[in-house]
Structure 1
Amino acid sequence: MTTDMRQLAPKDYPKNLGEIPNPPKLVWLRGSLPPEGHKLLAVVGSRSLTEYGAEVCRMFIQGLAGKPISIVSGLALGADACAHQAALDAGLHTLAIPGSGLDDSVIAPRTNLALAQDILAHGGGLLSEQEPFHTPFPSDFPSRNRIMVGMSDAVLVIEAGERSGTLITARLAAEYDRNLLCVPHRIGDPNGIGANQFIRLGAELVTEPLHILETLGLA
């Protein structure tokens, strides 16, 4: 069993997480939580990230380097992995919240185990409400998303198709009164239909890192 793991009770949660309607009863943590005083930016998007989406993700997060910001994402393929790696490259703290337990033997997806270990090696953290050896079910991912959104100050959508699971996360941002930021896409691009729709409904359109800093009160 992985030994660098501990339980957190609600009194130890980041402040925002304890304020959502259905906070987890307890969570498991490896590594570190975001430093005190940091703003938390959840980054979400398609698991089939396009070249455009990856470029924007890296550019935006690199533009946050040196600021008291932690990048929160779900360790999934695509946008999540891009966000975590970009945060590491920029020297930012990053927290991964997988749908699985946190033991190395079950971390999902398996292809991102090395990324999870790299996050820990560079001072970041892994967090989950699942038992350490829990293998994820499909229903675990929407549940995980509420934690990701709940603990964050803002949610950045990199890419989202018309039926993307990212749309669930975006709706949670509205429900929890978190700032929702969306990257615009070319009209008719199926990879950006969801993000464009949320912009139309009132989400903040972001085209440069400064927009994120302004939303977080760090400009």
Structure 2
Amino acid sequence: MARGRAQGPASGPSKGELLGPEQRRDWLRLIRTENVGPRTFRALINQFGGAGAALEALPSLARRGGRLMPPHTPTIAEADAEMEAHARMGARLVALGERDYPPALAALDDAPPLISVRGEAEVLRRPMVGIVGARNASAAGRTFAARLARDLAAGGWVVVSGLARGIDAAAHEASLDGGTVGVFAGGLAKPYPPENLGLMEKVAATGALVSEMPIGWEPRARDFPRRNRLVSGMSLGVVVVEAAERSGSLITARLAAEQGREVFAVPGSPLDPRAGGTNRLLKRGATLVTEAADVIEVLTPIAGRREDPVVEAEAPFVPAGPVTPGDDARARVISLLGPVPTPTDDLVRLSGCTVAEVQIVLLELELAGRLDRPGTGRVALK
């Protein structure tokens, strides 16, 4: 990736970092831009070679996509303020590809370009296991989650969860000595639920707190599935201890399966509605868990095959160079789109355009708020 603005020695990356302060600020402004998510961020960097160049191109891209006003982008002052807010609370922004970025998370095609981290970042480089379950967990469920987390931590595994009531809290509390990772649905300055604030401080002291949201972001209902995606994405496998037939824990299990992670479930009584979801997972092929050894046996070979990312002097993207499709090419691509999700490979084949041309048209539509990406490699018009 091109380095963007020239950087003097004092503003270059520190050891283990890819980005200097100005580049990190550009990355922050780009990922906080309206209609820019992780996949769009990656496409913009690939096309324009750097966040600075991508920021300059945003207004014209959105205009060609049919939007009169450019998407909102944080100002330099606003980005600096967020970075200073991180520093005041002892947190920092870690970029994709840097030493302290969780390796399993980095492998996802929608990995957040930047994550907020508070605590001991070293734990993020170790193999992780997600433990999730019901907020209204039974006493037996909490006891088992605590025992499982404690035994996994004793075996060298980092337990990651969502800091919620019930199973999450029991797993975090039991694995504090080994280092545990808690993932926020909102920003690091907006802890939720408030009754777990004391637990969060303990997690930060020996492990790490992580978020992909702006530091002052108040969590909304739609943000919790995004949080669940990070819990499963950081993990090599996810254990569901208790979950009803309709629960956020089953969303985490589904995301884990989509991400290629191992899914484990703890069996429960058919008479307990809190076991309905876990028992259904077992029927569908999840690995049954009655002790930590069941998890360790499956995940140890996977952890042994994992390769940590190599920190280089450049960011982990390969610029393709900017492309400007002609009106005819743009019209051909748009004519193939509709409300039904379509593979991008089909758009390339049927439009006769190059991959780069199709990607630019999709970027234009997305920045204009007209495109939806319901799944990897598929797009639809809103």
Which bin holds the TM-score, normalised by the shorter protein? over 0.9
2:151 is the alignment partner of 1:63: yes
Look up the match of 1:83: 171
State the Cα distance separating 1:62 from its structure 2 match.
2.3
Native 8 Å contact 1:15 1:151 kept in 2? yes
Look up the match of 2:268: 185
Inter-partner Cα distance in structure 1 for 2:125 and 2:169:
25
2:202 is the alignment partner of 1:114: no
Inter-partner Cα distance in structure 1 for 2:124 and 2:195:
31
Inter-partner Cα distance in structure 2 for 1:111 and 1:128:
19
2:114 is the alignment partner of 1:30: no
Inter-partner Cα distance in structure 2 for 1:149 and 1:182:
14
CA gap 1:110/1:36 in 2 versus in 1, 3 angstroms: closer
- Out of 273, 281, 290, the residue aligned to residue 198 of structure 1 is 281
Inter-partner Cα distance in structure 1 for 2:264 and 2:287:
5
Native 8 Å contact 2:161 2:172 kept in 1? yes
2:218 is the alignment partner of 1:135: yes
2:140 counterpart SS class: helix
Native 8 Å contact 1:32 1:124 kept in 2? yes
State the Cα distance separating 1:32 from its structure 2 match.
2.0
Look up the match of 1:93: 179
Inter-partner Cα distance in structure 2 for 1:33 and 1:107:
19
Aligned residues: 213
- Out of 162, 169, 183, the residue aligned to residue 74 of structure 1 is 162
Larger-gyration structure (1/2): 2
1:7 counterpart SS class: strand
Q: Runs of 4 or more off by more than 6 Å in structure 1?
A: none
Inter-partner Cα distance in structure 2 for 1:50 and 1:29:
31
Moved more, 65-74 or 178-187: 65-74
Give the aligned residue type for 2:166: G
RMSD: 1.5
Q: Which has the higher strand share?
A: 1
Inter-partner Cα distance in structure 2 for 1:192 and 1:32:
34
Unaligned runs of 5+ in 2: 1-84, 302-382
Native 8 Å contact 2:238 2:264 kept in 1? yes
Unaligned runs of 5+ in 1: none
2:97 counterpart SS class: helix
Inter-partner Cα distance in structure 2 for 1:97 and 1:65:
17
Look up the match of 2:28: none
State the Cα distance separating 1:202 from its structure 2 match.
0.3
Bigger relative CO (Cα 8 Å, ≥ 6 apart):
1
Inter-partner Cα distance in structure 1 for 2:239 and 2:229:
14
State the Cα distance separating 1:36 from its structure 2 match.
7.1
The share of aligned pairs that are identical, in percent, is 38
